[in-house]
Amino acid sequence: MATATAIDRLRDPSEKTLGVMLLAPAFLLLALIVVYPIGKLIWNSFFDLRLSGGSGIKFVGLENYALVFKDPDFWNAAKNTVLITLITVPGALVVGMGLAMLANLPFKRKWPVRLALLLPWALPLAFAGLIFAWFFHTEYGVVNDIVRRAVSPAEPAMWLLRPNWAFAAICLTIIWKTSSFMALILLAGLQMIPKSLYEAAEVDGASKWQQFWQITIPMLMPSIIVALIFRTITALQTFDIPYTMTKGGPGNSTETLAMLIHKTTIDYLDVGYGSTLAVCMFVLSLCVTAFYLKRIGKNA
Amino acid sequence: MKSIFDSKSLRLIAAGLVVVNGFFPAVWILLTSLKTEAELVSKPITYWPHAPTLGNYIQAFTDQPLLKYLGNSLAVALSATVFSLLVSALAAYAIARLNLKRRQLILTCIVASSMFPLVTLLVPIFETMRAFGLLNSYTALVLPYIVLNLPVCTLVLVSFFQSIPKDLENAAMIDGCTRMGALVRVVVPLAAPGVFTAGILAFVNSWDEFLLALSLNSNPNFRTLPVGITLYQGEFTFPWPIISAALIVAIVPIAVLIAIFQERVVGGLTQGGLKG
Amino acid sequence: MMRRTYLTALTAAAALVVGLASATTAFAQQTTLRVFSGGANQRPDLMRKLFDQYQAKNPGVKIDIETGGATSELQRQYLSTVLNAKDSAIDIYMIDIVNPAQYFGAGWLEPLDSYIGKPADVLKPYLPVYSTSNVVDGKLAAMPAFADAMFMYYRKDLLDKHGVKEPKTWDELAAAATKIQKAEGNANLQGLSIQGAPIEGAVCTFLLPYWGQGKDFNDASGKMTLDKAAATKGLATWLSMVDQGVIKKNVAEVKTPDTVNEFKAGQVIFAINWGFAWDRFKDDKDSTVQGKVGVMPLPAMTGGKSATCVGGWQWAVSAFSKNKPAAANLVKFMSSPEASKFLAQEGSLLATYQSVYTDADVVKAVPWFKDAANVVIAGKSRPISKDYGQVSDVIRTTTSAVLARTKTPADGVSEIESRLARVMR
């Protein structure tokens, strides 16, 4: 009884006010930095705004969006982007999980594994792409050198000049680079799982595999969801690695949505259509991650 | 059934693979930074430099004010990290703990800001910074970086705050703490791995960022490292050895920071706190 | 009486001093011009020397150099943001020769007619190519900074050793290369090195054999006049050389620096590259081909004529500059014959004036200009279009795909035609 009254007294009458105060800095910054740009972007998407035309701005309503649906380049880029997402998100999760668990093990000297885990994250994204493009180079690449020495000195494969191989090389590079991000989030989550749970399971006779699926994964679920949300959003926006590795080539077989938007806005100076594509990418990202966001929002 | 996590030798092999995977590109860059450009077209390719030279490092530092770029990047990244954590922690607490009606909408709004490709937001952001007279300053980059880091940091902290039982805070508040006091004294320490994780994510994101740094801080005095490194190349030249040297200069501070703080990120600070 | 005169004199003197002071202040009012002059390959060091010369002659002007991107690509990224935001911070831009039409069309460049003169008169003494590339909608959009062209470099020593003459057609070149490759027996010796990666230079890779058949890509009004059969034949010529082993199989990975590095290492017989390569072959410490390099006009297709791609850079005044007259004046100086001669002598940068090529001092300083002159003067410009960004992207990606053998030449040419038909009408 006494505890109930105490807690009643503690419940802030101004919870709403506190909420506003706490969220104010974040929303103030959002308003300052991105609300105007996003608003302008959505506004532009309803106009035919091509700088090279010099013909000025023409309101076209939803015509740009209709053009998007008929645009074979858009569908090609969307297909590539979705494929990259479907491959690299689970890929990075699995590799990241493995890395996180290895980093969590009681080695005598922990820093080599942990540093190795985070070093890929330290390499600037654009240069990671260039380095891996070098690794896959037909003549000067390490991959072909190893193949030549270990397997056969036959004709070296031209990895980046065959659409499927180039795609695979790009996915590999992305997984290499982003598994660090996943591992970091998962590792922090792993640390929060009390050892006592494992000890109890050990006593009950559960194998390591069972412990993994019945303790680790459920306890890690919040972290997994967070990691998945951002890995997915960034996967849908993949730009730097394919741009530096193949420039979308050969042809446009490795061109992603973000590359198409970049090309349309910066090279073609077609700001209107570029904005339309960007809004489409936003809608796609929102749909894909809405499910995850609901789960986080629900957790009390 | 013996799993990989039981056998010591298998564990070491796995660890070895991880180390190779993480270090190989960095080691390759290091070796390249000691070679000459001519050596890079030799067939078959060489791994160890024929005649290791530090000339590339000297040229990297003399061709451009690399140390200044390093200083700028550190200043911007550190400030952005500190402020990102501050703003995110407050927002995350509100979302995780307060009984707000439109909690989901708020969270979606914050995360949604990261769903637009930055290249399409560049011009308006440039105009905003110019209107405030902030172009070519640290602030010009720190403010957008906080916004760029907000989604990830907030979400990470929300999930960590949510995993800490409310009873602990309530206990603290019964003992006389205010809500904010409970946040600082109970929640944050317990979510320390989450806080450090969000911190490292914010730091590396800010360190790596290129587009905004290129457009907003074109003055060499405020230029950051990623932009500076692209300036070693020319329309027709791409001097890998010199660029590698600059890349090593860019990676080493982060590697050192990580090596120092990895205990904090991964360390068992929380092993005791959740017994209650 | 004395005092009054004394006071008057004093007042007069004071007035004179104040008057002089304010007059000198007015004169000392400085204009600062900010110039965006590209990356390392555009020789900002030499430009700085020219700016210093200009500052000495014009005391009220101070010139600052800005750098915002080392490559054409990164510069476009930067300029696109800054100019889209109508920024007035930069007064003068150095832009690629292919950019005036697009940037002028976007309203980013100030027409120079009222400051320098009518295009027809102003551009007469320059190389012929500028009369098309720098004139947009009849207005003068940019002034030449320095020129560039693609040359055919070759190993004089190898040709002499095996008794081979300078090839005049692509077929002759393929035969010459094959002969030397067989005789040398070196598996790493390439016959011909061209750039097949999807870089800007790949547009030239497409156009060279096409122009070599005497064809044009567009007419004077900008309408596309693509001869599909000729274009297909051009691309097929490259591929047949790959089949013969003259060009290496992974040509679609080759960028400009790769050709230069491989030639310097002695791995190439014939190489197509820009003018800067000459000095690299001659002067670089790690060059194994010093003294062994010759330069000649590009071969023609059998029955056609030799043609090369013109490159180089231009000076343009920003439409948003607050110092347009002063900027235009500086641009006039930087594109003068004296400036062109200076850049030729000090940096081997190809001259924009026909007369400079035959100037005695220049010929003494850079003897190879004699051979270069005819090549540059006969050079053709890439398609001039307000949508050049799109034109370039389509041509270079398709050419690279054809060279990577993921598309046939016929399919590639059809694609170029269908994509650009809308744009180049």
Of B93, B119, B147, the CB nearest to A265: B119
Over the stretch C134-147, which tens digit does the pLDDT of each residue have?
Answer: 999 999 999 999 99
User: Is the CB of C70 less than 8 angstroms away from the CB of B130?
Assistant: no
AA letter at C278: W
Short-list C269, C233, C229, CA closest to C248 = C269
Tokens of B192: 């320390």
The yes-or-no verdict on residue B79 having pLDDT over 90 is: yes
Q: Is B170 contained in some domain?
A: yes
Select from C91, C110, C63, C149 the least CA-distant residue to C381.
Answer: C149
8 Å CB contact of B3 and A209: yes
What structural domains and CATH numbers belong to chain A? 53-124+169-299 (1.10.3720.10)
How does DSSP classify residue A212?
I
Answer whether residue A9 shows pLDDT above 60: no
* Confidence grade of residue B5 (pLDDT, cut at 50, 70, 90): low
Work out whether strand C92-96 and strand C31-36 pair parallel, antiparallel, or are unpaired. parallel
Mean pLDDT, chain A, rounded, equals 86
- The whole-angstrom separation of Cα B260 and Cα B256 is 6
In DSSP terms, which residues pair with A58 in a beta bridge? A48
Query: Residue B201: which pLDDT band, with cuts at 50, 70 and 90?
Result: confident
Residue B273 has pLDDT above 50, yes or no: no
Burial class (CB in 10 A: 0-12, 13-18, 19+), C200: buried
Q: B236, B237, B243: best mutation site toward chain C, by most C Cβ within 10 Å? A: B236
User: What's the confidence (pLDDT) of residue B275?
Assistant: 34
Q: What is the pLDDT of residue C2?
A: 64
For chain C, domains (ranges, CATH) are 29-148+311-381 (3.40.190.10), 150-309+385-420 (3.40.190.10)
**Any domain includes B126:** yes
Task: Dump pLDDT digits (tens) for C31-73.
Answer: 999 999 888 888 899 999 999 999 999 999 999 998 767 888 8
Instruction: Please say if the pLDDT value at position C181 is more than 90.
Output: yes
Q: What is the average per-residue pLDDT within B80-99? A: 91
Q: Please state the φ and ψ torsions of residue C418, each to the nearest 5 degrees.
A: -70, -40
pLDDT band at B274 (very low <50, low <70, confident <90, very high): very low
pLDDT for A13 beyond 60: no
3-state SS string for B235-247: CCCCCHHHHHHHH
Q: Which DSSP state fits B111?
A: H
3-state secondary structure of C99: coil
**pTM > 0.95: yes or no:** no
Reported as a single tens digit per residue, the pLDDT across A232-252 is 999 999 999 999 999 988 989
Question: Got the DSSP string for C251-299?
Answer: GGG--HHHHHHHHHTT-EEEEEE-THHHHHHHH-TT-TTTT-EEEEPPP
Instruction: Please tell me the predicted confidence (pLDDT) of residue B68.
Output: 94
- pLDDT, residue A5, reads 52
Q: pLDDT value at position C9?
A: 64
Query: How confident is the model at residue A54, as a pLDDT?
Result: 57
Q: How confident is the model at residue C17 (pLDDT cuts 50, 70, 90)?
A: low
Residues forming beta bridges with residue C62, ordered by sequence position: C32
Candidate from A23, A36, A286 with C-beta closest to B91: A23
- Chain B contact present for C259, CB below 8 A: no
* pLDDT attached to residue C18: 60
Which residue in the set A131, A184, A192 is minimally distant from B201, CB to CB?
A184
CA distance A83 to A79: 6
In a domain, B232, yes or no: yes
Report the C-alpha gap between C100 and C383 in whole angstroms.
12
Domain that holds residue B205: 63-275
CB C409 within 8 A of CB C401: no
C-alpha span between A93 and C314 (Å, rounded) = 50
Rounded to whole angstroms, the Cα distance separating B207 from B141 reads: 11
Task: Identify the pLDDT of residue A196.
Answer: 86
| B228 half-sphere exposure, CB direction, 13 A CA radius | 29
Mean pLDDT value across residues A151-169:
91
Does any CB of chain C come closer than 8 Å to the CB of residue B218? yes
Determine the Cα–Cα distance for residues B243 and C181; give it in Å rounded to an integer: 34
B10 interfacial to chain A (CB closer than 8 Å):
no
Position C16 scores a pLDDT of 65
For B38, which of C77, C78, C265 is closest by C-beta distance?
C265
Cis peptide before A250 (omega within 30 of 0): yes
Residue-wise pLDDT tens digits, B139-183: 999 999 999 999 999 998 988 888 788 787 778 778 777 777 777
Terminal CA-to-CA distance of chain A, rounded, Å?
25
Contact A253 C406 (CB under 8 A): yes
Q: Per-residue pLDDT tens for A94-135?
A: 999 988 888 777 777 777 887 888 888 888 888 999 999 999
Q: How far is CA C197 from CA A49, A98, A160, A248, in A?
A: 31, 37, 11, 11
Write the CATH number for B247. 1.10.3720.10
Residue that wins the pLDDT comparison between A13 and C282: C282
Please check whether residue B249 lies inside any domain of the structure.
Answer: yes
Confidence category of residue B16, pLDDT binned at 50, 70, 90: confident
What the block records as the tokens of C343 is 């850049």
Measured between alpha carbons, how far is B161 from B169 in angstroms, rounded to an integer? 11
B137 falls within a domain: yes
CB contact under 8 A, C389 and A247: no
Give residue-wise pLDDT tens across range C256-315: 999 999 999 999 999 999 999 999 999 998 899 999 999 998 999 888 888 899 999 999
Residue type, B264: R
The chain-wide mean pLDDT, for chain B, equals 85
- The number of distinct structural domains making up chain B is 1
pLDDT for A100: 85
- End-to-end CA distance of chain B: give it in Å, rounded: 34
Average pLDDT over every residue of C171-198: 95
Q: Is residue B11 part of a domain?
A: no
Predicted confidence (pLDDT) at residue A177 exceeds the cutoff of 60: yes
State mean pLDDT over C8-21.
Answer: 62
pLDDT of the residue at A10: 46
ipTM more than 0.85? yes
pLDDT at C410: 96
Residue A279 has pLDDT above 90, yes or no: yes
Q: How confident is the model at residue A152 (pLDDT cuts 50, 70, 90)?
A: confident
Residue B31 lies in a domain: no
**Chain A interface disruption, residue of B266, B271, B275, most A CBs within 10 A:** B266
Task: Report the amino acid identity of residue C96.
Answer: D
- The answer to whether the Cβ–Cβ distance between A296 and B155 falls below 8 Å is yes
